[in-house]
Amino acid sequence: MRLNRWHAVAASMALTCASAFAAGAGPDSIYLNGFVYTVDKTDSVQEAVAVKDGRISFVGSTAAAKALAGPATRVVDLQGRTLMPGLIDGHMHPQEGGTTLIRCNLDYARLTVQQFQQRIQACLDRTRSKEPDQWLEVVNWFQQDMLPPGTELTYDTLDALKTRRPIAVMSSFGHSVLANSRALQLAHVDAATPDPVGGKVQHKSDGRPSGILEDAAFGRVMKLIPPPTKDEQVAAARAALDLLAKQGITSFLDADAEMIDLESFTAVQRAGGLTVRGHFAPPIRPAVDLDANKAVAEVKAIATKFDQGPTQVAPTIAVRNTKLFLDGVITAPAFTGAMLEPYLTRGNDKGPPVYFPAPTLKAILLGLARNGLEPHMHADGDRAVHEALDAIEALRKEFPESKIRAAIAHDEIVSPADFPRYAKLGAIPVLSFQWEKPAPDTLEGAREFLGPERFKYMEPAGYLAAAGARIAYGSDWPVDRLDEWFALKVGVTRENSPAAGPKYTGRLSTDTGLTVPTVLRAITANAAYELHEEENVGSIEVGKLADLIVLDRNVTKIPARDIADVKVLLTVVGGKPVHAVPPFEGAH
């Protein structure tokens, strides 16, 4: 029914545009002489695009586009460059990402213990006025890439620093915090502190807490840290938007949207500064006494407050998704991914129970669907994935895929028996392609603990694609640097950067990887489908919103390894440029 309405709207718009052109009004903009990669159903390539009132009004030849021009039409000569749909990042944390740009930032670096301490000490030295009681929050610690490999830190590492301040260091994966002894004392974490639902307090051999707090356990520390001011939060949102536009991102899903995320981006939008279409997924957190109906009602209330209705030409705020964490991460040293079989060398350790009991998870998904909300589930381990698919199977008895989209993010280990269930159930795997490479987290952090039979399926993008899954892309920024083009390169090659060194050369696992058209569709049309926005964005077709990017090279023609070097020259959202560099600076 929705599709029929869309065809009617598109036909009406085409007639309206044709009438306007006949009257001499012409389009607002025309892009000529390009390699227009449309990402339509056939991945057709055209030469020109016309834009009228923020929507695409023509796609075709340069000669036909020129004939449409009116006296006020802006003509942009692409000179053979590639024009394609704007990127849609189906899983990121932009408010958190923007905030990391202004905090003590370890920048995902490979560090020895001494370097780790030196970097944090430098932050302390720059902020001496905050001694002795103000918190220091450190971000983007690549916990899995400490040198030498296998290095594990405790509160002693931080206690050796020249400070009395409480310190919390957040792992870049976002699932672990290292706290110093002062922070542990303030949070009342000691040998007797129980593990919370959905979290773990790591301990030393003598029973004392080590300082490493996993998932829900680090909430005891993080809740004590005064949040940034509203002005700082808005500044972080603006910083994130600037970076997104430079990457060519025109829509995103904030896949764990707290109230401050929504408030900050709404403030930017009201001031006329929202340059990317924002979708937000408020979380439902696991709890011992969780009431599914109450939890759904709380998310619905947030959506009612912040969602700005049907998609418009100008970017707006959408709240139509809900985030659910089913487990943590599969890699060492956390081992918080929920597994079907034990981690090797760790006895009978299968990781934690799935954070939501199966009946509760099914009740939540049905409750969300009945309120017009769509689930977005974090599942790293194969048991978490399996139970997510079971919940979607229960959902499908009442709601078909056309009504409710259901996404499973990350999917780092999936049982082969579950590969075909994605397509059968309309479950969308939202994958972070940049993880699909040899690296400390996938090799030292996972290979020996998974064993050869499971490791050959690690990051199973190619296997899922072969089974018919509709793969979407999500960067998970700031878990990694925001580099969409590097991620797309890895999605095809499954290779790391040569700068990673000889230890990390070659391909990851036995997975064949994806084709260039498949990764491009994952970050455009399929991510649009994930967000239930395929009628508006994700491809270059008449009637859709003019969310477009121009590249410095033809991503479909260059060697796959060179995709990492692609630069975005122009980003257009709703027909308006939000990022431009020469030769397109000033073209509008």
Q: 137 with 218, same domain?
A: yes
Please state, rounded to an integer, the average pLDDT across all residues of the chain.
Answer: 93
Residue 124, number of CB atoms within 10 A of its CB: 18
pLDDT above 70 covers a percentage of the chain that reads 96
Report if residue 463 sits inside a domain: no
Residue 20: per-residue pLDDT: 42
Q: 217 with 100, same domain?
A: yes
Residue 130, CA atoms < 13 Å, CB-side half-sphere: 14
Residue 588: per-residue pLDDT: 55
Query: With the CA atoms of 252, 255, 256 and 257 taken in that order, what torsion angle do they form, in degrees rounded to the nearest 10?
Result: 30
What would the mean pLDDT of 271-286 be, rounded to a whole number? 97
To which residue do tokens 């122009």 refer? 570
Asked if the model's pLDDT at residue 17 lies above 80, the reply is no
Q: 125 with 48, same domain?
A: no
SS3 of 173-216: CCCEEEECHHHHHHCCCCCCCCCCCCEEEEECCCCCEEEEEEEH
**Of 222, 253, 273, the domain-final residue:** 222
Residue 227: per-residue pLDDT: 84
Question: Could you read off the pLDDT of 568-581 as tens digits, one per residue?
Answer: 999 999 999 999 99
Of the candidates 91, 125, 166, the one whose C-alpha atom is nearest the C-alpha of residue 430 is 91
- What range does the domain containing 151 cover? 94-222
Kindly list the distances between the CA atom of residue 7 and the CA atoms of 17, 45, 372, 381, in Å, as whole numbers in the listed order: 15, 22, 23, 41
Q: 107 with 40, same domain?
A: no
Q: 122 with 187, same domain?
A: yes
3-class secondary structure, 28:
coil
Residue 18: per-residue pLDDT: 42
Report if residue 390 sits inside a domain: no
Residue 502, number of CB atoms within 10 A of its CB: 7
Report if residue 554 sits inside a domain: yes
Q: 172 with 106, same domain?
A: yes
Asked if the model's pLDDT at residue 19 lies above 70, the reply is no
Q: 154 with 136, same domain?
A: yes
Q: pLDDT band for 587, please (50, 70, 90 cuts).
A: low
To which residue do tokens 């079989």 refer? 341
Q: How far apart are CA 459 and CA 88, in angstroms?
A: 21
* Mode of pairing for the β-strands spanning 209-215 and 29-32: unpaired
Q: 210 with 132, same domain?
A: yes
Q: 65 with 178, same domain?
A: no
Residue 506: per-residue pLDDT: 96
3-class secondary structure, 112:
strand
Report if residue 75 sits inside a domain: yes
* Mode of pairing for the β-strands spanning 167-171 and 136-141: parallel
Per the structure, the count of domains in the chain is 2
Q: 99 with 191, same domain?
A: yes
Q: pLDDT band for 103, please (50, 70, 90 cuts).
A: confident
Question: Could you read off the pLDDT of 127-155 as tens digits, one per residue?
Answer: 999 999 999 999 989 898 898 988 999 99
Lowest mean pLDDT among 14-28, 72-86, 234-248, 258-272: 14-28
What would the mean pLDDT of 449-467 be, rounded to a whole number? 97
The radius of gyration of the chain's CA atoms, rounded to the nearest angstrom, is 24
Q: How far apart are CA 55 and CA 309, in angstroms?
A: 18
Question: Could you read off the pLDDT of 312-353 as tens digits, one per residue?
Answer: 999 999 999 999 999 999 998 889 999 999 999 999 999 999
Q: 71 with 10, same domain?
A: yes
Q: Which residues pair with 577 in a beta bridge?
A: 572
Residues 6+ apart with CB under 8 A from 170: 137, 138, 139, 140, 141, 176, 177
Asked if the model's pLDDT at residue 375 lies above 50, the reply is yes
In sign, the C-alpha dihedral spanning 450, 453, 455, 458 is: negative
Q: How far apart are CA 331 and CA 360, in angstroms?
A: 27
Report if residue 516 sits inside a domain: no
Asked if the model's pLDDT at residue 6 lies above 70, the reply is no
What pTM did the predictor assign? 0.85
Residue 24: per-residue pLDDT: 52
Question: Could you read off the pLDDT of 24-49 as tens digits, one per residue?
Answer: 589 999 999 999 999 999 999 999 99
In the chain, the amino acid numbered 449 is F
Q: 116 with 212, same domain?
A: yes
Kindly list the distances between the CA atom of residue 428 and the CA atoms of 29, 386, 431, 432, in Å, as whole numbers in the listed order: 35, 13, 9, 13
Report if residue 205 sits inside a domain: yes
Question: Could you read off the pLDDT of 187-198 as tens digits, one per residue?
Answer: 999 999 999 988
